[in-house]
Structure 1
Amino acid sequence: MTRETAPLVASAVSLTEAGADNLYSWGEGCLGWRLLEQDGLQLRQELMQPGTSETPHLHRRARQVFYVLEGELTLRMPEGTLRARPRQAIHVPPGRPHWVRNDGPGDLVFVLASSPSTAGDRIEVETDGWAPLPHDDANDKGDR
């Protein structure tokens, strides 16, 4: 790097931390932190307490990758359920209906990358015709 390019490189690089200034709430009492917000890419850290979920939806343009840091992520789709544990990722391509839930006993913490941005790209969907939840996956667990 030369002296002439140093200001350009410095202006393109930034450090972001999950904190009060980039905190938002979503779903049923879930929290998130906006780590990067650009037209072509979003990066967020999100926290879901046990028993929480978002609403079923899809994105027309955005693809998403959920990377689990803590807990277990349940991803419902019309054809069934996927679960991801720490150090596992789930890719959801554009146009795929999905529904993220925390059916586990502890907090779920994950990083969510979306490309392009999901701003204005969310369509709520109905779950009629989706594969039924397996019995051990039901929300009415009495051991929580």
Structure 2
Amino acid sequence: MKISKQEAEHYIWGDQCDGWHLVKKGDLSVIHERMPANTSEVKHYHQHSRQFFFVLSGTATIEMEGEEIVLHPQEGVEVAPLVPHQMFNKSSEDMEFLVISQPISKGDRIIVE
């Protein structure tokens, strides 16, 4: 079945960040996300979900295990289960990326204090 961002289920998270569910199944999630300038998500990890973040536009900074990794368009990084991570948009422009999770990450997120 064909899916487009315009037809996908939309939600808002964090500081006015957007998400669109492109694939939403029990064993696989593909989400197109947008983070405005100078926003971030909370630091967390997943008990079971393995994730892959792939930047479509803008510049992302992801912190994993105390190290910051800068991702430019057409670059990505895999995050294994149990690895604390946090996504930032430290730039002055919107950033868009895909996050692919297997199995889905809903209900699997543990916030790191």
Taking structure 2 as the reference length, the TM-score comes to 0.95
Cα distance in structure 2, aligned partners of 1:21 and 1:68: 19
Amino acid aligned to 1:72: T
Within the alignment, does 1:79 sit opposite 2:41 as a pair? Answer: no
Which structure is higher in helix share? 1
Between the aligned residues of both structures, percent identity stands at: 35
Q: Which has the larger radius of gyration?
A: 1
Higher relative contact order (CA 8 A, sep 6+): 2
Cα distance in structure 2, aligned partners of 1:46 and 1:53: 12
Aligned residue-pair number: 113
Within the alignment, does 1:28 sit opposite 2:15 as a pair? Answer: yes
Q: What is the deviation of 1:20?
A: 6.1
Residue 82 of structure 2 aligns to a residue whose secondary structure is coil
| Residue matched to 1:19 | 6
Within the alignment, does 1:107 sit opposite 2:94 as a pair? Answer: yes
Out of 33, 39, 44, the position equivalent to 1:52 is 39
Cα distance in structure 1, aligned partners of 2:83 and 2:112: 10
- Listed as ranges, the gaps of 5+ residues in structure 2 are none
Taking structure 1 as the reference length, the TM-score comes to 0.75
Cα distance in structure 2, aligned partners of 1:93 and 1:40: 16
Amino acid aligned to 2:56: L
Residue 106 of structure 1 aligns to a residue whose secondary structure is coil
Amino acid aligned to 2:70: R
| Residue matched to 2:108 | 121
